[in-house]
Amino acid sequence: MKYDVVIGIEIHCELKTKHKMFSAGPAAFGQRANTCVNEIDLGHPGTLPSVNKQAVRYAIMASTALNMSIDRLVRFDRKNYYYTDLPKGFQITQQFHPIGSNGYLDIETEDGIKRIRIERLHMEEDTAKQFHLDTQTLIDFNRSGTSLVEIVSLPDMSSGKEAAAYVSKLREILFYLGVSDVKMEEGSMRCDINISLKPEGSEKYGTKVEIKNLNSISNVQKAVDFEIERQSKIYDENGRVAQETRRFDEATQTTVSMRMKEASVDYKYFPEPNIFPILLDSEWVKKIQENLPELPDQRRTRYMNEYGLGSYDANVLISNKELSDFYEEVCKVAKDGKIAANWCISELSGALAKRSETLSSMKLSADHLGALINMILDKEISGKQAKEVFEDVLEGKDPKEVAAAKGMKQVSDTSAILALINQVLDENPQSIADFKNGKSRAVGFLVGQVMKKSKGQANPAMTNQLLTEELKKR
Amino acid sequence: MTIVEMLKDKEHIEERVYEALEKAQKSQKDLNAVVTFIDPKEQLEHLDEVKGGLLEGVPVILKDNVSTKGIKTTASSKILENYVPVYDATIVKKMRDAGAIFIAKSSMDELAMGGTNLTAATGPVRNPHNLECMSGGSSGGSAALVAAGVVPMAIGSDTGDSIRKPASYCGVVGLKPTYGRISRYGIIPYSSSLDHVGCFTRSVKDAAIALEVLAGRDDFDMTSSFEPVEHYIDAVKGDVAGKKVAVLKNVIDAIDNEATMQCFNDVLDGLRTKGAVVEVVEMNEALLKALLPAYYLIANCEATANHSNLDGIRFGNRKDAESSEEIMIKSRTEGFGPLIRKRFVIGSYGLFVENQEKLFRQAQRVRRLIVEEVNRVLSEYDVFVAPASVSGAPKLDDASRDQLSDTYLVAENHMILGNFTGYPSITVPMGLSDGMPVGICLTGSAFKEGELLNIAQAVEDVTGLCDMKVGD
């Protein structure tokens, strides 16, 4: 049987604030366990929360980029439950009045653009991290109190591909905004997927299953695809899908059950009494909204319009913000954005991959790469020479100096090239004969001889053209 | 000695502090009001760093829910019997910077929940005026120690009337200023929206000095106010000519104690003589009767969440068990007294999704109506007044209270008005009722502490009960 699929996604994203959501404790990743905590993060008696203004700013930025309306009256609530990773015994969140609501995100699908509605974005604090060993549980409170936003979509997706496209797009936006590291593998962006099926045309959806532990975008797609197949099979055999939380298992590439979801838990939400409602200044909000960094979609359009890039090249650059930012620097010098894009996408990316380096770890300067590209465009050196010079440019050297030191220059003077051509033709009568007999390969050999005589400095295109003309004269 | 007197004599600070400590130790057998004694040696050594402070060399006692770095802070609960905070409450820093010397942490009702001080983990606190009587609570230890003349000032906290009721029973001044006037950072909470920090003294002027030290914005408490702090002592003139004083009719109608009413009426007559306009006003009786039930709901709902951190995992008394979940259950079950557990159950019940609207949220709406009713009175009067207790302190074994009588619902609990509104409220001794002290409670408008203290001074001038202590 065929089934309709509905998928909704909840994303928890750690904000890049210096301090925690409700304390001045440092927010840092990868530090020694329990060193980035203060009495507030540990939920000691008598401590009180203070709202992190930077987190509010970031939440406004994210909400704005996701086309949401902003609730200027910021309110927080308590979510009550007992768990060892939750030191206060409640989490401060925004249950009743999320700062952002009713937004959307457009994703690209095979059938064109699809709009995914986003229900809410709210601020909250993260929990501690637990390590369950055989005989004990260790708790690292460094993450406790870290600022988070939770972004909840409506169930508008219907395939693994769409789910992956949504997560990927959202991730890109948050990264471009600079509000989060969005590292799924490190948990600074976590993704929970709700998925349920119904027979095509039927009204009633089946049981909703939640999938957790998705640490990459490709796993999002794999997990959803697997889950659709798994649930379809159960329904095909007239079985019942259990209401449960599953996780994606990397090793088997399947989803496995984590725990059953019984009657929903009552978190006894109520307004946080220690934080009065905060009315944000409308000018402050406006200023934040008007000064958003360029978003990936805007940049994509600009690349296509300003630099004449095709959508493929534009997408490749934009998917790597560091490279894309570097590309823009190159374009400030380089006279041709398209050629600059080619260099960034193929030569530069290739070189980085080969060396297992990143842009920031290299001495390479954007000005130098721009200058190198202009040297090709100005026919100062050949493309082949440029690749050789590039090796030194990667090490931070000036391409002009490198070319000069290597004695490289491109000869584009017609009479000089002609003189070389005639010299070569005189030395190779057999090749001329071959050419006359229709062996076009002879041209290639002769061009090679000219290049050799010029020590590689003859303009190859000109050489080719002039040689053909001279051959015809003989 | 009052604070005012102590500040005049800075030659004998060390003697005075050790004398207070010794007195506190001696009082322990009778009053049982101290949980932990603090060695003042180190504080005295650093006293020259805070010369000229408003509390220079004044020995002070803290309620045991005030966090003190490195000093045990139990909130009189078994679950915290070994808890040593890693930080100081904001008010501790403020008082230390003003030159105060802390000598002890005082007993309280467990986690500040209660009005008798019978529920402290260290046992009941006795009233210095009569050892068979209770001190009242929840700040009973602080009230008793000030009344016994051990120190001129002690810190208390007030969620329902936990400063003002024991102040009445022990015959001292008990001040609870406006919500947000004093930082709550570092005070082990009861109910966040109702909790206030305040102080006990033996004179109104001392209360003014204490408030000036304690008050002010604290970035660690978002509910603390940016309102500038007054030089309160300047406002305390006892000048009430033309001041309008409202007497709460509902409360005095519900009081059946002649001796108490005699004290009360004497004070009112004195105020009139000084030129105050004293008038009887009636509040909506139904709202006043709803005060206590609404209070219990709000307080217990907030408390059950506030104390969810007491799980034995990171601090406090941990009971070993097989799983972390069982550790939490066992630590909490064995760590809390039965009254506390009862309140947590009520609080949880009130927050359940199916109950919250008709219980907790409804109580909050009732609170709003009551605040509006109080505003109606305060729009025409500078303060409203009523006896702070129907009678003197009850006996330790008194269980005779009918919790649904008008006397109990209205006359014994009207001071919650100060917590519901957050408005400043003070109890001042007004005399003896059957040999035990009783106080009068005055409540004013938000951040008008200066005005409130001024009128309270007039009361003190009328009664002459300044620096009253046991044995005088």
Q: Is residue B22 part of a domain?
A: yes
Question: In terms of domains, do A61 and A25 share one?
Answer: yes
- Tell me if chain B has a CB within 8 Å of the CB of A137: yes
Task: Choose the closest CB to B86 out of A44, A49, A80.
Answer: A44
CA distance B300 to A387: 75
Please confirm, yes or no, whether B203 is among the known catalytic residues: no
Mean pLDDT, residues B207-230 taken together: 98
- List of E strands, A160-251: 189-199, 209-212, 244-249
Model confidence at A415, pLDDT cuts 50, 70, 90, reads: confident
- Tell me if chain A has a CB within 8 Å of the CB of B220: yes
Gap between the terminal Cα atoms of chain A: 76
Question: In terms of domains, do A237 and A346 share one?
Answer: no
- Tell me if chain B has a CB within 8 Å of the CB of A268: yes
Interchain proximity B315–A44, CB inside 8 Å = yes
The residue range of the domain holding A385 is 294-405
Q: Residue B231: which CATH number?
A: 3.90.1300.10
| Nearest CA-CA distance, residue A60 and chain B, Å | 21
Q: Least CA distance to A24: which residue of chain B?
A: B220
Domain count, chain A: 3
Please confirm, yes or no, whether B105 is among the known catalytic residues: no
- Give the contacts of B66 (CB within 8 A, at least 6 positions apart): B73, B89, B91, B92, B105, B155, B157, B186, B187, B188
Look at A458 and B144; give whichever has higher pLDDT: B144
Q: Least CA distance to B355: which residue of chain A?
A: A268
Model confidence at A129, pLDDT cuts 50, 70, 90, reads: very high
Looking at A359, A387, A405, which one is the last position of a domain?
Answer: A405
Mean pLDDT, residues A109-124 taken together: 96
pLDDT of residue A408: 78
Helices (DSSP H) in B159-284: which residue ranges? 164-170, 204-214, 232-235, 249-254, 258-273
Q: Is residue A233 part of a domain?
A: yes
Residues of chain A found within 8 Å of residue B185, distances taken between Cβ atoms: 46-48
With 70 as the cut, is the pLDDT of residue B401 above it?
no
Model confidence at A384, pLDDT cuts 50, 70, 90, reads: confident
Interchain proximity B309–A268, CB inside 8 Å = no
CA distance B229 to B447: 9
| Nearest CA-CA distance, residue A49 and chain B, Å | 7
Q: Is residue A289 part of a domain?
A: no
Task: Choose the closest CB to A275 out of B222, B309, B328.
Answer: B222
Question: In terms of domains, do A244 and A153 share one?
Answer: yes
Residues of chain A found within 8 Å of residue B67, distances taken between Cβ atoms: 44-46
pLDDT of residue B428: 98
Question: In terms of domains, do A52 and A92 share one?
Answer: yes
With 60 as the cut, is the pLDDT of residue B365 above it?
yes
The residue range of the domain holding B135 is 3-242
Q: Least CA distance to A137: which residue of chain B?
A: B324
Interchain proximity A46–B192, CB inside 8 Å = no
Q: Which of B105, B39, B20, B34 is nearest to B68 (CA)?
A: B105
Distances from the Cα of A45 to the Cαs of A127, B80, B221, in angstroms?
18, 10, 14
CA distance B105 to A414: 100
Q: Which residue has the tokens 């159960």?
A: A234
Please confirm, yes or no, whether B425 is among the known catalytic residues: no
- Tell me if chain B has a CB within 8 Å of the CB of A273: yes
Q: Is residue B335 part of a domain?
A: no
Mean pLDDT, residues A252-261 taken together: 89
Scanning A28-57 for CB atoms below 8 A from B yields: 38-39, 42-51
In chain A, % of residues over pLDDT 70 = 100
Question: In terms of domains, do A242 and A346 share one?
Answer: no
Mean pLDDT, residues A174-197 taken together: 95
Scanning A363-382 for CB atoms below 8 A from B yields: none
Mean pLDDT, residues A127-146 taken together: 93
Domain count, chain B: 1
Question: In terms of domains, do A105 and A227 share one?
Answer: yes
The neighbouring-strand residues paired with A19 are: A26
pLDDT of residue A461: 80
**ipTM for the assembly:** 0.96
Question: In terms of domains, do A401 and A420 share one?
Answer: no
pLDDT of residue A313: 94
pLDDT of residue A98: 98
CA distance B447 to B467: 26
Q: Is residue B343 part of a domain?
A: no
Interchain proximity A87–B80, CB inside 8 Å = no
Task: Choose the closest CB to A48 out of B184, B311, B315.
Answer: B184
Mutate to test the interface with B, among A34, A48, A139 (most CBs of B within 10 A): A48
Interchain proximity A274–B192, CB inside 8 Å = yes
Average pLDDT over chain A, rounded to an integer: 92
Residues of chain B found within 8 Å of residue A263, distances taken between Cβ atoms: none
Question: In terms of domains, do A384 and A418 share one?
Answer: no
3-class secondary-structure state, position B347: helix
pLDDT of residue A465: 85
Model confidence at B407, pLDDT cuts 50, 70, 90, reads: confident
Mean pLDDT, residues A140-166 taken together: 97
Task: Choose the closest CB to B87 out of A39, A49, A270.
Answer: A39
Question: In terms of domains, do A330 and A225 share one?
Answer: no
Residue B216 in tokens: 């002010």
Q: Is residue A17 part of a domain?
A: yes
Q: Is residue B177 part of a domain?
A: yes
With 70 as the cut, is the pLDDT of residue A416 above it?
yes
Residues of chain B found within 8 Å of residue A89, distances taken between Cβ atoms: 305, 307-309, 311
Q: Furthest-apart CA pair in chain B: how many Å? A: 71
Q: Least CA distance to B91: which residue of chain A?
A: A46
Q: Is residue A288 part of a domain?
A: no
pLDDT tens, position by position, A30-88? 899 999 999 999 999 999 999 999 999 999 999 999 999 999 999 999 999 999 999 99
Question: In terms of domains, do A265 and A302 share one?
Answer: no
pLDDT of residue B102: 98
Mean pLDDT, residues B372-395 taken together: 97
Residue A77 host element (H or E): strand A77-80
Q: Is residue A433 part of a domain?
A: yes
- Tell me if chain B has a CB within 8 Å of the CB of A351: no
pLDDT of residue A268: 97
Mean pLDDT, residues A298-302 taken together: 95
pLDDT of residue B145: 98
Q: Which of B32, B37, B207 is nearest to B137 (CA)?
A: B32
Task: Choose the closest CB to A48 out of B222, B352, B360.
Answer: B222
Which of these is catalytic: B106, B138, B139, B142? B138
With 70 as the cut, is the pLDDT of residue B356 above it?
yes
Question: In terms of domains, do A452 and A383 share one?
Answer: no
With 80 as the cut, is the pLDDT of residue A474 above it?
no
Interchain proximity A139–B85, CB inside 8 Å = no
With 60 as the cut, is the pLDDT of residue A219 above it?
yes
pLDDT of residue A442: 83
Q: Is residue B164 part of a domain?
A: yes
Q: Is residue B55 part of a domain?
A: yes
With 90 as the cut, is the pLDDT of residue B132 above it?
yes
With 80 as the cut, is the pLDDT of residue B157 above it?
yes
CA distance A136 to A151: 34
- Tell me if chain A has a CB within 8 Å of the CB of B195: no
Which of these is catalytic: B67, B142, B157, B162? B162
Model confidence at B85, pLDDT cuts 50, 70, 90, reads: very high
User: String of b and e for B285-309 (b: at least 16 CB within 10 Å)?
Assistant: eebbbbbbebbbbbbbbbbbbbbbb
Looking at A245, A279, A313, which one is the last position of a domain?
Answer: A279
Q: Is residue B208 part of a domain?
A: yes
Question: In terms of domains, do A29 and A94 share one?
Answer: yes
Mean pLDDT, residues B17-36 taken together: 98
Distances from the Cα of A69 to the Cαs of A104, A107, A293, B57, in angstroms?
11, 20, 18, 57
| Nearest CA-CA distance, residue A99 and chain B, Å | 19
Q: Is residue A232 part of a domain?
A: yes
Interchain proximity B222–A51, CB inside 8 Å = yes
Interchain proximity B352–A266, CB inside 8 Å = yes
Least confident among A167-176, A252-261, A434-443, B102-111: A434-443
Q: Is residue A285 part of a domain?
A: no
With 90 as the cut, is the pLDDT of residue B227 above it?
yes
CA distance A123 to A60: 10
Task: Choose the closest CB to A90 out of B186, B191, B308.
Answer: B308
CB A80 within 8 A of CB A43: no
Interchain proximity A90–B80, CB inside 8 Å = no
Q: Is residue A287 part of a domain?
A: no
Q: pTM, whole model, 2 decimals? A: 0.91
Interchain proximity B313–A87, CB inside 8 Å = yes
With 60 as the cut, is the pLDDT of residue B472 above it?
no
Task: Choose the closest CB to A266 out of B87, B328, B353.
Answer: B353
